[in-house]
Structure 1
Amino acid sequence: MRADRLHAKALDIGVLDDPFTSALRGPQSRFARTVGNIVTFEPDVSVFYGHPREMTDQDYADLAQLAGIGHTASLRDRRTPLPEDLFDVVAEIDLVQYRGDAVEPPTADPTADPELVRLGVADVPEMTALIELTEPGPFLPRTIEMGVYLGYRDPDSGRLLAMAGQRLQLPGWTEISAVCTHPDARGRGLARRLVSAVAQVIVDEGNTPFLHTTADNSARRLYEKLGFTLNSEVPLEILRVTGNNR
């Protein structure tokens, strides 16, 4: 599964520095809403915003316009002062990014795992319930359109117990996201199997896996054991729009 063994083309690591903009102005532009230099996903697809690190007054005004008063927006690795008349900071997350260009091949082909199933639109209510229970990150009604999602169902009841899938699509890279396991099924290696399987799908598609987590997430140990390497750690701020100066 190691990407540099399978791909002759050189990887552009720079697109990982601003992954939301790279996705929205590139492979996932079909989901994009844009005002000036600010870009975001359609509201039922994903919550993230792409923006310059060095934000101007116009950029902040465009961000407020695009999000709308009373709604939230996100800023990744902001480098300029936030206008207090436009936004309140609701939360700040230490966002950790791992890249999978050095991931070693698994001991067995995870795509041949017969217990993992591909999830579709009909599964979204059950996927959403699992996300709400385990809280790995945002998952909206159309998030499933962003890529392939795999799940593990209880062989007796058919209940969805674990899942993982693809979210951001960048030039040469695909993000693994929504990695979660029901509390009743933890400790059985399901997350490892699903991350490996989704990573294999990504490599088979010609891309290299990467992923995001938070600094305090114990899942980091799993990702590092699988061979993912730390690429960056930056603040992700969740803002509420309180005004619009236009």
Structure 2
Amino acid sequence: MKHHDPSLLDNPVWFALATKQAQLAHGAGPARRYDRAVAPFAAVETQAPESLQALISLISPDESASLLSRTELPEVEGMHAERAFSLLQMVDEKALPIADDAGVIRLQTTDAAAMLDLASRTKPGPFGIRTIETGNYIGIGESGNLIAMAGERMRLDGFVEISAVCVDDGYRGRGIAARLMNILRGEIQARGDTPFLHVRDDNASAIKLYERLGFKARKMFSLYRVAPVATTA
């Protein structure tokens, strides 16, 4: 694998939306966010008050956005911020060849409804009807049903995030998640990029799986839900 600037991973949403995924972004100044049908994530270039206020201007009064931060968010006029939980960022440190993808489905936008249904049942993290637009998604089907999937979400210079790794409850324990991840990892590496991912710090079983596959813990983030402060008439 090539060596890329790891400091970009300190603010991955920003560097994704400011570069390789700019077409999916709302905002053009010091704050960006994904279209809400793609992903709930938003980012600021820095945590200066004017950047956070710019972010709030991108969020409707009836919604919130998810912001990753390695430090406590400052109080900013007009912004309500609530810390939800911690996310561990892990980076792939094991080189892999491209794996055999026999029987694996290359998912398309026409599969979005089935993907959303699987995600709603297995809860791998936020997933929307347009999430498939972020990158390559693969899956496995059985009897006409999608029973597992994994894909690429954040894409920035030199790094690609693996996300939406999920398997229907009736098919767990067969190594399906690891297989899908290894296919994606090999393909990402073949393009010259490094795979990374985020996982809740309390998801011990997933962390152990990722460690066995060759991912190493990098840094811990807090996930904040930020929203405009409600105003009274």
Fold agreement, TM-score > 0.5 = yes
| Structure 2 counterpart of 1:158, one-letter code | G
Question: Residues 75 and 127 of structure 1: is their aligned pair in 2 closer, same or farther, counting only changes over 3 Å?
Answer: same
Stretches of structure 2 lacking an aligned partner (at least 5 in a row): none
For residue 191 of structure 1, report the CA deviation from its aligned partner.
0.4
Match of 1:216 in 2: 202
Match of 1:62 in 2: 54
Contact in 1 for aligned 2:104/2:138 (Cα 8 Å) = yes
Moved over 2 A (4+): 52-55, 58-61, 78-86, 239-244
For residue 105 of structure 1, report the CA deviation from its aligned partner.
2.8
For residue 53 of structure 1, report the CA deviation from its aligned partner.
4.7
Partner Cα separation in structure 1 for residue 202 and residue 170 of structure 2: 22
Q: Normalization by structure 1: what TM-score?
A: 0.87
Alignment of structure 1 residues 189-228 onto 2, 5 Å: 189-217=175-203, 218-228=205-215
Partner Cα separation in structure 2 for residue 17 and residue 166 of structure 1: 18
Q: Once superposed, what is the RMSD of the aligned Cα atoms?
A: 1.8
Match of 1:44 in 2: 37
Question: Residues 62 and 15 of structure 1: is their aligned pair in 2 closer, same or farther, counting only changes over 3 Å?
Answer: same
33-42 or 132-141, which moves further after superposition? 33-42
For residue 60 of structure 1, report the CA deviation from its aligned partner.
3.0
For residue 76 of structure 1, report the CA deviation from its aligned partner.
1.6
Once the two structures are superposed, residues 126-152 of structure 1 have per-residue CA deviations (whole angstroms, 9 ceiling, x without a partner) of 110010011111111211111110101
Partner Cα separation in structure 1 for residue 200 and residue 225 of structure 2: 14
| Corresponding residue pairs, total | 229
* Matching residue within 130, 134, 142 for 2:130: 142
Partner Cα separation in structure 2 for residue 34 and residue 178 of structure 1: 25
Q: Normalization by structure 2: what TM-score?
A: 0.91
Partner Cα separation in structure 2 for residue 228 and residue 35 of structure 1: 33
80-89 or 204-213, which moves further after superposition? 80-89
For residue 92 of structure 1, report the CA deviation from its aligned partner.
1.1
Once the two structures are superposed, residues 3-42 of structure 1 have per-residue CA deviations (whole angstroms, 9 ceiling, x without a partner) of 2xxx3xx311111000000101111111111153111112
Are residue 130 (structure 1) and residue 118 (structure 2) matched? Answer: yes
Question: Residues 45 and 232 of structure 1: is their aligned pair in 2 closer, same or farther, counting only changes over 3 Å?
Answer: same
* Matching residue within 13, 16, 20 for 1:20: 13
Stretches of structure 1 lacking an aligned partner (at least 5 in a row): none
For residue 206 of structure 1, report the CA deviation from its aligned partner.
2.0
